Amino acid sequence: GQPICECFDCYGGSDCSELSPECSADADSGDPLFLEPFWMQHATESAVVISGWHRMSYRYADYTTMSKELENYIRKIHLLVGNAATEGRYIVFGIGSTQLLNAAVYALSSENSSSSSNVLASIPFYPMYKAQTAFFNSESFEFEGDTYSWQSNNSKNNEDVIEFVTSPNNPDGELKKSVLGGKTIYDHAYYWPHFTPITGPSDHDLMIFTLSKLTGHAGTRFGWAVIKDKDVYEKVLNYISIADLGISKDTQLRVLKLLKVAVEGDGKPLFEFAYNTMRERWDRLTSVFSKSTRFSIQKRHPLHCNFFNETRLASPAYAWVKCEREEDDDCGAVLEAGKIIGRIGSTFSAKDRYTRLSLIKSKYDFELLLQRLTELVLRENGSI
Ligand code: PMP
């Protein structure tokens, strides 16, 4: 008969339980919808209403009050989680952390040097660093690729380098450290208890965070930089001011409302929901991969989490899958034949023997991914 309710895309039958054999699991993007159920449970407290005549000005009268209050909440959540030192540091808002990545490169690059600063990251790295540095095509900075190759070719000259350190790393979840020991931009998008044990407050000169992976509101486009040095702070501020005349006040108001909910109960409700969701997904994923010799995933290390006050395994946002068979050097294609869409290794300047699978999408996306992975492993073992 006809389904009573409309089924999700890939499902049919009278009770929507029949999965269409044609349907692929899309584990490509890092859209953090796994947090949507938490916000559904907190729908009223997290809602924002703005009257038409409110906050029309570029810099309306209470500019400092609201932005300052938001800054205080950012400091508060860092203190509560224990993931970053913010005392005595400057904070700058950006349109997502994306905008701040390039603002930071600009701020750290040397102005009066005759040669351009060398921007590097360690393979496998988030592709935006390379894309932005190339796109903005400045005389002050140039993307030079992998830190390890740079190190072996330029063993002494680490003076004019700007190194992106992504910790935990996208795609593999590793807690990275600087390789070159020059200027660094610490991208801490994933340094929250959902994804990794919090081992202590990060204390680097320039650290970047994003609302996208903290509360899941990627569409709000809000990030912030925590900066030690006043000159660097002023340069980042100048970049934002010239690019945008500042960050939307509507956005700031929404972020403030969300952070007020996030810090309730000392952050326990949000972080427990987020961590439990990720842990459950990793438990199930690990169980599927443990039955396979054809595919492997990254090793996860147990560390003491100061926030939860216990030793835990990391539960990274992405699975970094390796196809182990000699002939499977295009791992993306192997997975795609099994109706799984991931992001291929070369996107991260790694080998295509690797593919990244996103674990932070909706429950629906994750269930479909797990179903397709289970089938793939059953087929490997000749069970179907
Ligand atoms: N850094 C890393 C490592 C990321 O994975 C992402 C988003 N996937 C970003 C920065 C950018 O996020 P946003 O602009 O939404 O803050």
Q: Domains, the chain, ranges and CATH?
A: 11-40+267-380 (3.90.1150.10), 63-266 (3.40.640.10)
Q: Are 100 and 210 in contact (CB under 8 A)?
A: no
What is the pLDDT averaged over residues 222-242? 97
pLDDT (tens digit per residue) in 315-363: 999 999 999 999 999 999 999 999 999 999 999 999 999 999 999 999 9
CA distance 40 to 30: 20
- Asked if the model's pLDDT at residue 11 lies above 90, the reply is no
The bridge status of strand 318-323 relative to strand 354-358 is antiparallel
Q: For position 227, what pLDDT does the model report?
A: 98
Q: Are 16 and 5 in contact (CB under 8 A)?
A: yes
Burial of 132 (0-12, 13-18, 19+ CB in 10 A): middle
Q: Is the peptide bond before 168 cis (omega within 30 degrees of 0)?
A: yes
β-sheet with 90-95: strand ranges across: 90-95, 222-227, 206-210, 183-187, 161-166, 117-121, 141-146
pLDDT (tens digit per residue) in 282-295: 999 999 999 999 99
- Asked if the model's pLDDT at residue 145 lies above 60, the reply is yes
Nearest atom in ligand 1 to 126's CA = 3
Q: Are 182 and 204 in contact (CB under 8 A)?
A: no
Pocket of ligand 1 (CB under 6 A): 30, 96-98, 126, 166, 170, 187, 189, 210, 212, 218, 223
CA–centroid distance, residue 30 to ligand 1 (Å): 9
Coil, strand, or helix at residue 33?
A: helix
Confidence band, pLDDT 50/70/90 cuts, at residue 61: low
CA distance 225 to 151: 28
- Asked if the model's pLDDT at residue 163 lies above 60, the reply is yes
Q: Check if the interface score ipTM surpasses 0.95.
A: yes
> Across all residues in the chain, what is the average pLDDT?
94
Both structure tokens of 116 = 């351009």
Coil, strand, or helix at residue 196?
A: coil
pLDDT (tens digit per residue) in 15-51: 888 888 889 999 999 999 999 999 999 999 999 999 9
Tell me the sheet residues that pair with 256. Answer: none
Of 211 and 20, the structure prediction assigns the larger pLDDT to 211
Both structure tokens of 131 = 């894309």
Choose which residue among 170, 194, 215 to substitute to test ligand 1 binding: the one with the highest number of ligand atoms within 8 A of its C-beta.
170
Please calculate the CA angle 344-345-349 and round it to the nearest 5 degrees.
130
Q: Is the peptide bond before 171 cis (omega within 30 degrees of 0)?
A: yes
CA–centroid distance, residue 167 to ligand 1 (Å): 12
Nearest atom in ligand 1 to 30's CA = 8
Nearest atom in ligand 1 to 221's CA = 15
**What is the number of alpha carbons within 13 Å of residue 115 lying toward its C-beta?**
7
CA distance 49 to 61: 19
Within a 10 A sphere around the Cβ of 191, how many other Cβ atoms?
24
Choose which residue among 28, 33, 74, 98 to substitute to test ligand 1 binding: the one with the highest number of ligand atoms within 8 A of its C-beta.
98
CB crowding 337-364: b at 16 or more within 10 Å, else e: ebbbbbbbbbbbbbbbbbbbbbbbbbee
Q: Which of 303, 324, 332 is nearest to 315 (CA)?
A: 303
Tell me how long the chain is. 384
What is the pLDDT averaged over residues 213-227? 98
Choose which residue among 190, 212, 320, 360 to substitute to test ligand 1 binding: the one with the highest number of ligand atoms within 8 A of its C-beta.
212
Contacts of 296 (CB under 8 A, 6+ apart): 289, 321, 322, 324
Both structure tokens of 105 = 């490169």
- Residue with the smallest CA separation from ligand 1 atom 4 is 189
